[in-house]
Structure 1
Amino acid sequence: MTNEVVIVGAGPVGLFLAAELALNGVRPVVLDRLPGRSGEQKANGLVGQVIRLLDHRGLHQPLRGTPGAPKPVPRFVFGAFPLELHRLAANPLHAMPVPQHRIEEVLEARALELGVTVLRRCEVTGFTQDPDGVTVDLQGPDGARQLRTRYLVGADGGRSTVRKLAGIGFPGVTSPDPVSRIAHVLPPEGLRSTDDGEILLPGCPTPFRPYTHTRTEHGVFVIAPFNPEAVMIATMEWGGPPVDEADPLTLDELRASIRRVTGADLPLTPARTAGPFTPRRTVGHNTRLAERYREGRVLLVGDAAHVHAATGGPGLNLGLQDAANLGWKLAADLRGWAPPGLLDSYQSERRPVGERVFMHSQAQTALMAPGPATTALRALVGELIAHDDNLARIAALMAGSDVRYATGCSHPLAGGFAPELALDTPDGSTRLAELAHSGRPLLLDLTGGTLGLADRAAGWKDRVDVLAADCAPAQPPAGALLLRPDGYVAWACAPGEADREGLDRALRDWFGEPRI
């Protein structure tokens, strides 16, 4: 039996890709070498456009735990600079605190609900590919075995076995600094809060804003009181005492680092709250990007394709959108309607986004380093961020909302992520995000059907949904939108300008030839 897709790695990116494929009629097999979800405390939340993407799949509410559409955050941080995003008339940056083990739990439940098979205790030991597919060698609970698949996807992290076996280079830069330490602890004694909500450490005159990076002359300090029973504390140090990476981080080591960075001596006690609160140390930064995202019938997503500093939390924003971009294109290829070059556009669209994340994550790390030169640079950057137009550019960079794919359409919305819209449809009031839950392409006439586009798209009705709606009382941002399954606008036209020839081109360019 030949599987259509085998995905290696049952982390958030692999599970989300599996669900995206399943929405498009492909039932992948997901392999993971671990016996179950790791529970390791990695990401503490989601940042950026990915939150709106998850809303398009009906996953925002399960992850957040409360109803309603995503709301931008009033404040965030860039390179230890506070970003007062509430100043912006149009704030693009979303953030949602949710631990990675919960993200994996929700995404695995969705994948299983859609019929995805997840095989654990299965480790890939090799593979060979030919023009028709890939034969994967596994070591599992019952010994060695093989799987045959038409496509193999590596979602197996920065040390990706799939990438290495495919012979795909992973060039980049490794730096020994900074050393990051993080742990969840009981609220330390002696903490005080100011009237402005900042936190004072005993013996330290500097106030620290919670949930953000604060640069001192000796490093960076972070404190995040997520709940009364668990406070996350982290430090970053440059040029500190040597550490043995083989030794686990102890609370005494973290306490000594806090003392060096802030001057405060904080007694630390492990958090009692149930959950993965193991102290963790990361030595240096590893910034690497795969030379290519595809080798024949083998593809890479997420950390298998790129690793970078975690500053600003861009990892899952980047990786989950990789999965959304690849999922529908791979399904289109397997279902036989993909236009020429569609699958190759996965790399041409997503690799530049990885390069952009590299740029801003490294820039943020540089802005947090100690030293008078950095202090001078920060003074200049601080002046720039004080202007709202520069603040908006930084917010868009962090959100990933400045990403624009080449579409051949000149409308301002084309190539970007779809705007949030409240709509009146024949079935009642809804939001655009709710119409996207199916994961199918969508042609949305925002004039209530007056543009007459439904007949034009009739040849694609097997793969493109068509709907007429009104934005009333708001002015529609376009007369019509053609949305890709990953939420990006493939084509748009102004109200009163149907541009039927442009629509025909876009339907063919992205969704293949019509079926009569």
Structure 2
Amino acid sequence: MAGVSGVVEADVVVVGGGPVGLVVACELAGWGVRVVVVESEVVVSERPRATTVHARAVQCLVRRGHLEGLAGVRGGRFSGPGSVPGSGHGSVSRSGPRSVSRSGLGLGSGAGVGSGSGSGVDGGVVFHFAGIPGLVVSAPGGEPVAVLKCEQEVLERHFEARARGLGVRVLRGCRVVGVRQWRGGVVVTARGAFGSVVCRGLFVVGADGARSVVREQGGFASRVYPASVSALAGDVRLEVGGSLVTGWHRTERGWLVVKEAEGGWVRLRTVNGAGPCAQWRVAPTVEELRREVSWIVGREVAIGEGRWLSRFSDFSRVASSYRRGRLFLVGDAAHVHFPVGGQGLSTGLLDAVDLGWKLAFAVRGWAGAGLLDTYDQERRPAAQRVIDHTRAQVALMRPGPELEPLRALFDELLAGGGEAGVLASMVSAQDTVLPSCGRSPVYWEGRFLPNVALVTREGPTDVIALLAGGGPLLLLFGQGDAGGGFEEQARGWAGLVRVVHCDAVPGLERDALLVRPDGYVAWASGREGREGPAGVLEEYFGAPVRVGEVPVGVVG
């Protein structure tokens, strides 16, 4: 933050410049909101972190245009089902073994599966559940890839460049030491190499990770689940006699995950089911990792140098509320869980998309009285569900013969198709249904609208293309508005809500849908006599305004 000191004025202060905080910033800036991001790291970290973005997060990001310009993406969409931006591997394999190794790991008799994620199969991507391979994550036709494999470092650089291009001020090398809110706004104090900087604004978004200063100083309570297992991670160089087979491996003592990394490094993850680590605050050493790997596999494994060593566990936490007045939490600041299934980054990115447009509307004066409260109502239950099923996966991963029948059952379920589809939808968050504004909701309300092909008065298009304009949509199908007056009801929000007349779409079975900027349906027409969209429009966007009061140029 060369030369930065003094006072910075903004509408919203985002604490934390990781992918989640930067997507919040992009969302806000895209609506003309002044944003400053305060980040403690001077540069983007190259330390291995998340590599998976699941289907619903990808779908929302594409609808909001946030993947525009990312390698492997054309026009905001992926160029092919095998695209793996930033991985350096080009296309992915179209097949792979199902069984997980239960052998002696590297003795030449057994083989583990691949990474357990990212391998393509017809109609989906092979993933895993509790280390059991065979879970196929797919997405509806017309959608982007079901699983985006991309290093977090690549995403973070991409989102930061996008944020800066939208006018976001990013202050790197600034450690936040104070967060205070008052009736008229917020004050964030940070310290860096050039002194202190004070950021003043209307709202603060805490995207500052598991050790969130915003959460602690903001007085957010949390529900906590203590650790029951210990785990280590790091990149190492194996010495002569230290060969390990790539893949997921389970033994009677725990798990070892082995993955090849660039430059001859080997990326290791261990899970010890004997209990939590008593010295979890102490940084691990190469020798500790060597002993743990050797103990789990039941033989000595020769390890030389190591880098990026860390320890983790299944400790889980979810904030009791994601909002306290003018303070909001997103990502790991709001929720943490065991990183099995690769859902942490995706859950945080969905937080960012949900909060971003709502907070922007509130700042611009376009929000209904309760719109900001819907962020907590929609996203906190989603995080709780992730915590619940990751804890279930940890239970399945525990060593012990008493769990063999249960593991065998899940192996059959994953191979069977139907039940595996339920698990795949859960892991990818494609089963999410949001609370409905309506008193008697009908189908589609609260559900995500797939990227269906549409024929409008202007010609052929689809949902992603229409949402690229940024604003909510009122889609009127066929002659659906004849006698319904839906377009007339929406006239009071004409500068904000775009009305689009389309041909009828088989399968939707609705005359009209009100679609939020993130792709979820806020209102759907139903049986004769059902109220039109005016009530929901007012709940979301406040009282109707005269045409032209909302700058049309902002929403495209």
TM-score (norm 1): 0.84
- Classify 1:187/1:146 alpha carbon distance in 2 versus 1 (closer, same or farther; 3 Å): same
Distance change (3 Å), C-alpha of 1:231 and 1:58: farther
Aligned letter for 2:461?
Answer: T
User: CA deviation digits over 1:375-411, x for unaligned, max 9?
Assistant: 2332343444454332121111101112111222633
Match of 1:35 among 31, 42, 45: 42
Q: 2:282 aligns with which of 237, 246, 256?
A: 246
Greater displacement, 410-419 / 424-433: 424-433
The alpha-carbon deviation at position 268 of structure 1 amounts to: 5.4
The 1:456/1:172 distance shift into structure 2, 3 A limit, reads same
Structure 1 residue aligned with 2:271, among 231, 236, 241?
Answer: 236
For residue 308 of structure 1, what is the aligned residue in structure 2? 337
Of 492, 501, 506, the residue aligned with 2:531 is 501
Q: Where does residue 256 of structure 2 map in the other structure? A: 221
Do residues 362 (structure 1) and 391 (structure 2) align?
Answer: yes
Alignment partner, residue 469 of structure 1? 502
**Structure 2 residue aligned with 1:52:** 59
User: Structure 1 CA distance, aligned partners of 2:500 and 2:239?
Assistant: 53
Aligned mates of 2:38, 2:504 — CA distance in 1: 44
Report the counterpart of residue 372 of structure 2 in structure 1.
343
Write the distance in 2 (CA, Å) between the matches of 1:448 and 1:16: 38
Aligned match of 1:391: 420
Select the residue among 133, 155, 169 that pairs with 2:185. 133
Is the 2:124–2:139 Cα contact (8 Å) retained in structure 1? no
What does residue range 115-126 of structure 1 map to in structure 2 within 5 Å? Answer: 115-126=167-178
CA distance in 2, matches of 1:145, 1:88: 45
In the comparison of the two structures, how many residue pairs are matched?
489
- Structure 1 segment 432-447 matched on structure 2, within 5 A: 432-447=463-478
The amino acid that maps onto 1:121 is G
3-state SS, counterpart of residue 181 of structure 2: strand
Conserved 8 A contact 2:232-2:289: no
Deviation, structure 1 residue 500: 7.5
Q: Measured at CA, do residues 2 and 376 of structure 1 come closer, stay the same or move farther in structure 2, by a change above 3 Å?
A: same
Equivalent residues in 2 for 1:22-101, closer than 5 Å: 22-60=29-67, 62-63=69-70, 65-67=72-74, 68-69=77-78, 71=81, 73-85=124-136, 94-101=146-153
- State the match for 2:442 in structure 1: 411
Q: Is the 8 A contact 2:515 2:523 kept in 1?
A: yes
Amino acid at match of 1:441: P
SS at match of 1:376: helix
SS of the aligned residue for 2:347 comes to helix
2:514 match? 482
**Do the aligned residues in 2 keep the contact of 1:174 with 1:285 (CA within 8 Å)?**
yes
Task: Choose from 321, 342, 352 the match for 1:292.
Answer: 321
Deviations 1:409-448 (A, max 9, x none): 6332220222121233455543312322343212223438
Paired residue secondary structure (1:280): strand
Task: Give the CA deviation at 1:230.
Answer: 5.7
What residue number does 1:21 align with?
Answer: 28
In structure 2, relative to structure 1, the CA distance for the partners of 1:188 and 1:168 (3 Å cut) is: farther
Give, in whole Å, the separation in 1 of the partners of 2:192 and 2:233.
35
- Say which of 497, 506, 510 aligns to 2:540: 510
Deviation digits for residues 119-170 of structure 1 (CA, Å, limit 9, x no counterpart): 1222222233221111222223432342221111111111001111111123
- After TM superposition, give the deviation of residue 337 of structure 1 in Å: 2.5
Deviations along 1:316-363, whole A, 9 cap, x unmatched? 111111111111211222122211211111111111111101101111
Alpha carbons of 1:125 and 1:47: their partners in 2 closer, same or farther (altered >3 Å)? Answer: same
Aligned-partner Cα distance in 1 for 2:135–2:25:
37
Aligned partner of 1:197 in structure 2 is none
Q: Which is further off, 84-93 or 435-444?
A: 84-93
**Compared with structure 1, are the counterparts of its residues 142 and 432 closer, same or farther at alpha carbon in structure 2 (3 Å cutoff)?**
same
Q: Which moved more, 1:435-444 or 1:147-156?
A: 435-444
Checking the alignment, whether the CA contact within 8 Å between 2:322 and 2:330 is kept in structure 1 is: yes
- Mapped to 1, the partners of 2:519 and 2:241 lie a distance apart of 47
Alignment RMSD: 3.3
1:373 and 1:222 map into 2 onto residues whose CA distance is: 23
Residues 93 and 396 of structure 1 are in contact (CA less than 8 Å); yes or no, is this contact kept in structure 2?
no
SS in 2 for 1:502: coil
Change (3 A) 1:284 1:88: closer
Are 1:423 and 2:468 counterparts?
no
- Displacement of 1:96 in angstroms is 1.5
Structure 2 distance, partners of 1:100, 1:180, is 19
For residue 476 of structure 1, report the CA deviation from its aligned partner. 4.7
User: 1:50–1:316: 8 Å Cα contact kept in structure 2?
Assistant: no
C-alpha distance in structure 2 between counterparts of 1:350 and 1:188, whole Å: 49
Aligned 8 A contact 2:138 2:146 in 1: no
After superposition, the Cα gap between the structure-2 partners of 1:471 and 1:263, relative to the gap in structure 1 and judged at 3 Å, is: farther
261, 269, 283: which is aligned to 2:296? Answer: 261
Equivalent positions of 1:449-464 (< 5 A) are: 453-464=486-497
Query: Alignment partner of 2:532: what SS?
Result: helix
- The separation in 2 between residues aligned to 1:341 and 1:406, in whole angstroms, is 13
Alignment CA distance shift 1:95-1:224 (3 Å): farther
CA distance in 1, matches of 2:149, 2:481: 43
Kept in 1: contact 2:481–2:511 (CA 8 A): no
Distance in 2 (alpha carbons) for counterparts of 1:227 and 1:446:
52
CA distance in 1, matches of 2:199, 2:49: 31
Shift in Å, 1:263: 4.6
Residue of structure 2 equivalent to 1:3 = 10
Cα distance in structure 2, aligned partners of 1:268 and 1:467: 62
Check 1:279–1:375 CA distance in 2 against 1; reply closer, same or farther (3 A cut): farther
With 314-323 and 450-459 compared, the bigger mean Cα shift is at 450-459
For 2:352, the equivalent position in structure 1 comes to 323
Partner of 1:204: none
Identity of paired residues, percent? Answer: 37
One-letter identity of the residue aligned with 2:518:
D
SS at match of 1:443: strand
5+ residue gaps, structure 2 = 1-7, 82-122, 547-556
1:86, distance to aligned residue in structure 2 (A): 7.5
Cα pair distance change 1:21/1:396, threshold 3 Å: same
CA distance in 2, matches of 1:56, 1:442: 12
